Amino acid sequence: MPEPAKIGERVIRGIPVSTGVCRGKIFVLGKPSEVAVARYDISPLEVPEQVNRLEQALVRTRHQILEVQQKVSEAMGTSDAAIFDAQLLVLDDPILLEEVVKHIHTERVNAEHAFAVVSNKYLAMLGAINDEYLRERVADMRDVTSRVLHHLLGAPGESDLGQIREPCILVAYDLAPSQTATLDKRMVLGFATDQGSKTSHTAILARSHQLPAVTGLQDATQRLRTGQYALLDGYNGLLIIDPTDQTLFEYGQLARRKLAIADRLREVRDQPAVTLDGMRVTLSANIESLDEIGEVQAHGAEGVGLFRTEYLFLNRHTLPSEEEQFLAYRRIAQALKPQPVIIRTLDLGGDKYLSHRHVTTERNPFMGWRAIRICLQERDMFRSQLRAILRASVVGNIKLMYPMISGLDELTRANALVDEYKAELRAEGVPFDDQLEIGVMIEIPAAVMVAGALAKRVKFFSIGTNDLIQYSLAVDRMNPKIAHLYEPTHPAVLQLVKRTVDAAHDQGIWAGVCGEMAGDPVLAPLLLGLGADELSAAPPLVPAVKYVIRRVKLSEARALAAEALNNENAAKILNHAQAFVEDIAPDLFEKA
């Protein structure tokens, strides 16, 4: 690893979340700030001037939105750009504007104050209605109103990724998964954020998209300015401002060594994931969108162990219909058959919301209205997804998986709905696979404790270590301040994994791991030793895991796991796992 901090350069350290190195100018996107709106009285003579200011601001906002829409359309196609249509509709809403003008007249106040009062009233009204579609309108309206206010106040908003006009390293306060999912890779070479951690969905997306990324930089956006030259090191979590020639040279060498490792990994791509003593491991991929179908096989994965379907629902203003979902699920199953595709039902909530501007009002969103909890309440949404999956199940090898199951009740209720929709389809004469296998994610400690009961009623378990770790250790997976406490090798976590796997095997079903632990080659032998039958990781992470599997003896992995289960120290367990893998696969680790 290059030794950073040469004279003349500045090194900002964060959490490495997605490997790779890039360099270029930085683009700084600060914390979206609340707009401070002053109120001042005006005379009747000043009313026309204030109305005129309002109209000018609306015209400028319209131009700004059209410009962003145009750029998004060029970069990502018209369907992504369509999300701005709803914002334009808000601008054109005559009722809103009439009321603002009336407020200026009757209250004799400045335009920005009148606009803020009226729009806040509408935002509060819409937000209070328990309707998913209307809640989405709140996000549009909030976005538009803050743009208008910025124009009235003479300070165009800085929170727009659409302002990026040349390739850059994005340095942001935070990025929502929905924003990361639509980053234009031609413009954003990599990103660094003040917030975030290794298992935030933004970090997970960065790895899937192979974008170098560093999170947890604390206050970088306040210390840096757009246009500074930098190098982003996603291996070691460094943002190096004004790197010296020596540093650039060292990173050039690093890139060469990484390429050599990539060559070695390419050799195992088409080989099976089998240990030296003959245990066949299922090594599959986690994907978030249809665009990644090609990546699954390109990286040598066997099917999809986790399809995060919620990404079909993000960055849009209407829910995808049953038909649209059916076509998407069928396409994946068709492309990957006979390999399995495990479709996880919606896991919205936590850090994933139905609009990129939607800010949660929940105090603990990861413990709140999320995943299966939403689906069991929002029946129409769940119905269209379950029917779409059932309909697609006649093609290829689809399996269904529920996220965030905390106990038997949720499983029973979800299964009852599946049965109800099967009956509907049967009555309609629509074909589906009656034997469709159903599994659950084990990611809540309570589910581990009742895993025996769950295992009797499902065909497989997939352990979601990202959440299992945060819930068992009470460590928010998003919070960089406590990222050091988020320990995958914590003895409690290993006991939970072991207990889950044992419960599965006792009932004759298989148990996999689809959290980020499964994509870490250092932890793969430990998980196999604990009994995992399947590992599922982002496609680019699959080759290194396969490389390690092919060099490990299951008997030795079991000994490693047995030792870990008797060890009381997370750091020591991690060190042993690291030493073990360095020993069996030394050429995976680049040495300076």
Catalytic residues: 201, 514
Question: In the beta sheet, which residues pair with residue 169?
Answer: 26, 190
Closest to ligand PEP by CB, 122 or 486: 486
Q: How far apart are CA 391 and CA 191, in angstroms?
A: 39
Closest to Mg ion by CB, 393 or 462: 462
| Beta strands 282-287; 188-193: pairing state | unpaired
- Kindly state the smallest distance separating residue 294's Cβ from Mg ion, in Å: 25
Q: Angle at the Cα of 487 (from 481 to 489), degrees rounded to 5?
A: 170
CB within 8 Å of 568: residues ≥ 6 apart: 491
Question: In the 8-state DSSP scheme, what is residue 160?
Answer: -
CB 89 within 8 A of CB 318: no
Residue span binding ligand PEP (CB under 6 A) among the ranges 55-63, 97-105, 427-435, 464-472: 464-472
Closest to Mg ion by CB, 84 or 460: 460
Of the candidates 45, 50, 59, which has an alpha carbon nearest to the alpha carbon of residue 113?
A: 50
The only residue of 197, 275, 406, 465 in contact with ligand PEP, by rule CB under 6 A = 465
Question: In the beta sheet, which residues pair with residue 27?
Answer: 170
Q: How far apart are CA 468 and CA 484, in angstroms?
A: 16
Provide the 3-class DSSP secondary structure of residue 155. Answer: coil
The sign of the torsion formed by the CA atoms of 456, 457, 463, 466 equals negative
Helical segments of 8-93, H only:
47-76, 78-81, 83-91
- Kindly state the smallest distance separating residue 435's Cβ from ligand PEP, in Å: 25
- Kindly state the smallest distance separating residue 216's Cβ from ligand PEP, in Å: 18
> From ligand PEP, Mg ion, none, which one binds at residue 472 (CB under 5 to 8 Å depending on kind)?
none
> From Mg ion, ligand PEP, none, which one binds at residue 145 (CB under 5 to 8 Å depending on kind)?
none
> From Mg ion, ligand PEP, none, which one binds at residue 465 (CB under 5 to 8 Å depending on kind)?
ligand PEP
The sign of the torsion formed by the CA atoms of 517, 194, 83, 24 equals negative
Question: In the 8-state DSSP scheme, what is residue 271?
Answer: S
The interface with ligand PEP within residues 299-358 (CB under 6 A) comprises: 306, 308, 347
Q: How far apart are CA 293 and CA 303, in angstroms?
A: 9
- Kindly state the smallest distance separating residue 495's Cβ from ligand PEP, in Å: 17
Q: Is 515 in the site for ligand PEP (CB under 6 A)?
A: yes
Residue span binding ligand PEP (CB under 6 A) among the ranges 79-87, 419-427, 458-466, 482-490: 458-466
Closest to ligand PEP by CB, 208 or 221: 208
CB 421 within 8 A of CB 390: yes
Q: Is 439 in the site for ligand PEP (CB under 6 A)?
A: no
The only residue of 464, 512, 519, 540 in contact with ligand PEP, by rule CB under 6 A = 464
CB 304 within 8 A of CB 170: no
Tokens of 436: 């469709």
- Binders of ligand PEP: how many residues, by CB under 6 A? 10
Residue span binding ligand PEP (CB under 6 A) among the ranges 48-56, 231-239, 333-341, 463-471: 463-471
Closest to Mg ion by CB, 148 or 463: 463
CB 436 within 8 A of CB 398: yes
Q: How far apart are CA 365 and CA 357, in angstroms?
A: 15
Closest to ligand PEP by CB, 157 or 464: 464
The only residue of 9, 112, 467, 556 in contact with ligand PEP, by rule CB under 6 A = 467
Q: How far apart are CA 305 and CA 514, in angstroms?
A: 7
Query: Distance of CA 57 to CAs 147, 148, 150, 158, 473, Å?
Result: 9, 6, 9, 16, 49
Provide the 3-class DSSP secondary structure of residue 8. Answer: coil
- Kindly state the smallest distance separating residue 499's Cβ from ligand PEP, in Å: 16
Closest to Mg ion by CB, 233 or 443: 443
The interface with Mg ion within residues 429-488 (CB under 5 A) comprises: 443, 464, 467
CB 18 within 8 A of CB 211: yes
Q: Is the peptide bond before 243 cis (omega within 30 degrees of 0)?
A: no
Cα 493 to chain centroid, rounded: 22
Closest to Mg ion by CB, 201 or 209: 201
> From ligand PEP, Mg ion, none, which one binds at residue 410 (CB under 5 to 8 Å depending on kind)?
none
- Binders of Mg ion: how many residues, by CB under 5 A? 3
- Kindly state the smallest distance separating residue 468's Cβ from Mg ion, in Å: 8
- Kindly state the smallest distance separating residue 442's Cβ from Mg ion, in Å: 10
Q: How far apart are CA 419 and CA 400, in angstroms?
A: 13
The interface with Mg ion within residues 533-552 (CB under 5 A) comprises: none
Q: How far apart are CA 464 and CA 511, in angstroms?
A: 11
Q: Is 196 in the site for ligand PEP (CB under 6 A)?
A: no
- Kindly state the smallest distance separating residue 515's Cβ from ligand PEP, in Å: 3
> From Mg ion, ligand PEP, none, which one binds at residue 515 (CB under 5 to 8 Å depending on kind)?
ligand PEP
Closest to ligand PEP by CB, 469 or 522: 469
> From Mg ion, ligand PEP, none, which one binds at residue 190 (CB under 5 to 8 Å depending on kind)?
none
Of the candidates 573, 556, 574, 449, which has an alpha carbon nearest to the alpha carbon of residue 500?
A: 449
Closest to ligand PEP by CB, 14 or 464: 464
Q: Is 443 in the site for ligand PEP (CB under 6 A)?
A: yes
Q: Is 233 in the site for ligand PEP (CB under 6 A)?
A: no
CB within 8 Å of 107: residues ≥ 6 apart: 114
Per CB under 6 A, residues contacting ligand PEP are: 306, 308, 347, 443, 464-467, 514-515
Per CB under 5 A, residues contacting Mg ion are: 443, 464, 467
